[in-house]
C-alpha cells in the first residue's frame, strides 16, 4: 500500500535527513517508526503526503508514485494526525471533525452527521463535546478529536505523528488501546511516528527502528525484541526486552493447565470427596455448558458438609483474561488479584488456567520461535528469565 524505494532526503542546507530507505507497509497494517530525536522519522512520514519531497528514490501509495499525484487530491486519501490534535482553535469540535468532508464538497448536514458518528466512534459524545471549542477539552480529548478528524472522510491511509505524545502515561495507554480497538474495525494502512519504544511495540504490526537517517531493522515487534538485528537496535530496545516481550506474546491454548473442576449443579459432598482424592485445595467451578462460574476451596466445601450444590458455595473469579491476550495482561491480573494463576476464557467458555511456570514457558516458546524464524542463535535468554 505504501512503498519506499531507495528514498533519500537532503535538505537545501545540506542536512541529510534520511538515506536509502526501502520498506513497504501492507494494506491494513500499522507500522511504527521509532528512533531518537532527529533520526528522520517525521521526514519519512511527510514524504508520503508530499509535505516534503524526496531528493532520491520514490514513494508509492497504492502502486502510484506520489510525485505524479495532485498533492491536494493525494492528501484527501491520507488522514493526518499530529501531536495535540492540530485542531482549529476557533472552530467547534464538530466543525473541526467535519473539516475534510466539507472540503471535499459534502453537504453540510451530511458532513456534520458523519462528524458526529466519528466523535462517537472515538468515545466522545457528540451532543456534549460537539459544540465545544478545542480549548475546552483535555489533552486526551483533543487527541481523540484529531483522530476523528483524520478518519472523517474515510481515507485508506493514516499518518500519525506522535499522536499520543502530549498526555500523561495513563491517558496515553488508554488512547493507545482505544486506537487499537478502532483500528481492528477500520483497518487503515497506518504509519505512526513515535520516539517511545514501548508505544512502538504495543501499537505496531511491524516496527521500523531508525538509527541516524536510516532503518536499522524492520520487522515484527516480537522479532525486533527477540532478535535485534544490530547492537544499536539491542541498545535501543533496552535490556528489559524480555519484559517487553510480555506485551507481544499472546496466551495460547498450549500454555494452559487443567485445574481441578467442579460443576455448579454437583452436590458439594461429591465434589469435596473428589478433590480430597486428588489432593486439590481448590477447584474451578463451571456451569454445565462449560462457562466460568467461579472457584471454590476444599475448606469451604468441607464446612458446608452435606448441604447444597457447589454453585452456591463458589466465589467469584476475578483473575481471568480472554484467550489471545498478551502475557503482560495475564501477569498484571495475577499481580492485581494476588492470585497464583489466571483463568483463560474463550468468550464465556473456560479453557484452563495460566500459571507463572507456564507463563515463563510461553515466553521462551515465543523467543525460540522467532530465533528459528530469523535464523539467529544469539538470543539473549538472560533477559527473558529476568521477566
Ligand atoms: N527543513 C529542514 N531543513 C534542514 N534540516 C531539517 C529540516 N527539517 C528537518 N531537518 C533535519 O533533518 C533531520 C531529521 O529530522 P526529522 O524531523 O525527520 O526527525 P525526527 O526523527 O522526526 O525527529 P523528532 O523525533 O525530534 O521529531 C534532523 O537532523 C533535522 O534537524
Complex ipTM: 0.94
Give the pTM.
0.73
Say how many Å lie between the CA of residue 162 and the centre of ligand 1: 14
Pocket test residue of 7, 13, 16, 17 for ligand 1, highest count of atoms within 8 A of CB: 17
Of 164, 150, 155, 140, nearest in space to 98 by CA:
150
**The three three-digit cell numbers of residue 251, written as one number:** 496466551
The burial of 220, by beta-carbon neighbours within 10 Å (0-12 exposed, 13-18 middle, 19 or more buried), is given as: middle
- Evaluated on CA atoms 143, 158, 177, 219, the torsion sign reads negative
Ligand 1 lined by 194 (C-beta under 6 Å): no
**Residue bearing the CA closest to ligand 1, atom 26:** 37
Task: Looking at the CA of residue 42, tell me the nearest atom of ligand 1.
Answer: 22
The two domains 2-248 and 253-360 share their CATH topology (first three levels equal): no
CATH number of 253-360: 3.10.580.10
Ligand 1 lined by 92 (C-beta under 6 Å): no
Spelled out in words, what is the top-level CATH class assigned to the domain 2-248?
Answer: alpha beta
- Evaluated on CA atoms 282, 288, 293, 299, the torsion sign reads negative
- Taking only the tens of pLDDT, the chain with its 387 residues reads 999 999 999 999 999 999 999 999 999 999 999 999 899 999 999 999 999 999 999 999 999 999 999 998 898 889 998 877 688 999 999 999 998 888 878 888 999 999 999 898 888 999 999 999 999 998 889 988 998 998 888 899 999 999 887 777 777 888 888 888 888 888 999 999 998 888 898 899 999 999 988 999 999 887 888 788 999 998 888 767 777 778 888 899 988 999 999 999 998 888 888 888 988 888 999 998 889 999 998 888 888 776 678 888 889 888 899 998 988 889 888 888 888 889 999 988 999 999 888 888 888 777 666 655 543 333 343 444 333
> Do residues 196 and 238 touch, judged by C-beta distance below 8 A?
no
**Residue bearing the CA closest to ligand 1, atom 24:** 37
Domain segments of the chain: what residues?
2-248, 253-360
**Residue bearing the CA closest to ligand 1, atom 29:** 38
Q: Which residues, other chains included, contact 372 with Cβ-Cβ below 8 Å and sequence gap of 6+?
A: none
> Do residues 292 and 286 touch, judged by C-beta distance below 8 A?
yes
Residue 92's region, left for phi above 0, alpha for psi from -120 to 50, else beta, is beta
Amino acid at each position: 500500500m505504501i512503498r519506499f524505494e531507495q528514498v533519500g532526503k537532503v535538505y537545501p542546507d545540506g542536512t541529510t535527513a534520511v538515506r536509502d530507505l526501502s520498506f513497504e507497509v501492507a494494506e491494513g497494517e500499522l507500522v511504527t517508526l521509532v528512533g531518537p530525536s532527529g533520526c528522520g522519522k517525521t521526514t519519512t512520514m511527510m514524504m508520503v503526503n508530499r509535505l516534503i519531497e524526496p531528493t532520491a528514490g520514490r514513494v508509492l501509495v497504492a502502486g502510484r508514485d506520489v510525485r505524479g499525484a495532485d498533492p491536494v487530491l493525494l492528501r484527501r486519501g491520507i488522514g493526518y494526525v499530529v501531536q495535540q490534535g492540530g485542531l482549529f482553535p476557533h472552530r467547534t469540535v464538530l466543525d473541526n471533525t467535519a473539516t475534510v468532508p466539507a472540503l471535499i464538497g459534502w453537504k453540510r448536514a451530511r458532513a456534520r452527521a458523519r462528524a458526529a458518528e466519528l466523535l462517537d466512534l472515538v468515545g466522545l459524545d457528540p451532543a456534549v463535546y460537539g459544540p465545544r471549542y478545542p480549548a475546552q477539552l483535555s489533552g486526551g480529548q483533543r487527541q481523540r478529536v484529531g483522530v476523528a478528524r483524520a478518519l472523517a472522510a474515510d481515507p485508506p491511509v493514516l499518518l500519525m505523528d506522535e499522536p499520543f505524545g502530549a498526555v500523561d502515561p495513563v491517558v496515553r495507554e488508554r488512547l493507545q488501546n482505544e486506537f487499537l480497538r478502532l483500528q481492528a474495525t477500520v483497518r487503515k494502512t497506518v504509519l505512526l511516528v513515535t520516539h517511545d519504544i514501548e508505544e512502538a511495540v504495543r501499537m505496531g504490526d511491524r516496527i521500523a527502528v531508525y538509527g541516524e537517517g536510516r532503518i536499522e531493522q524492520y520487522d515484527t515487534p516480537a522479532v525486533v525484541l527477540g532478535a535485534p538485528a544490530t547492537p544499536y537496535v539491542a541498545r535501543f530496545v533496552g535490556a528489559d526486552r524480555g519484559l517487553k516481550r510480555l506485551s507481544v506474546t499472546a496466551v495460547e491454548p498450549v500454555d494452559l493447565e487443567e485445574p481441578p473442576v467442579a460443576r455448579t449443579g454437583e452436590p458439594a459432598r461429591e465434589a469435596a470427596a473428589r478433590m480430597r482424592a486428588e489432593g486439590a485445595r481448590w477447584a474451578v467451578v463451571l456451569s454445565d455448558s462449560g462457562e466460568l462460574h467461579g472457584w471454590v476451596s476444599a475448606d469451604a466445601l468441607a464446612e458446608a458438609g452435606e448441604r447444597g450444590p457447589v454453585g452456591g458455595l463458589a466465589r467469584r473469579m476475578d483473575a481471568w483474561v480472554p484467550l489471545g491476550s498478551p502475557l503482560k495482561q495475564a501477569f498484571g491480573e495475577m499481580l492485581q488479584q494476588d492470585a497464583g494463576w489466571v483463568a483463560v476464557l474463550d468468550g464465556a467458555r473456560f479453557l484452563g488456567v495460566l500459571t507463572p511456570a507456564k507463563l515463563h514457558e510461553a515466553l521462551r516458546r515465543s523467543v525460540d520461535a522467532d530465533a528459528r524464524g530469523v535464523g539467529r542463535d544469539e538470543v539473549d535468554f538472560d533477559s527473558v528469565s529476568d521477566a
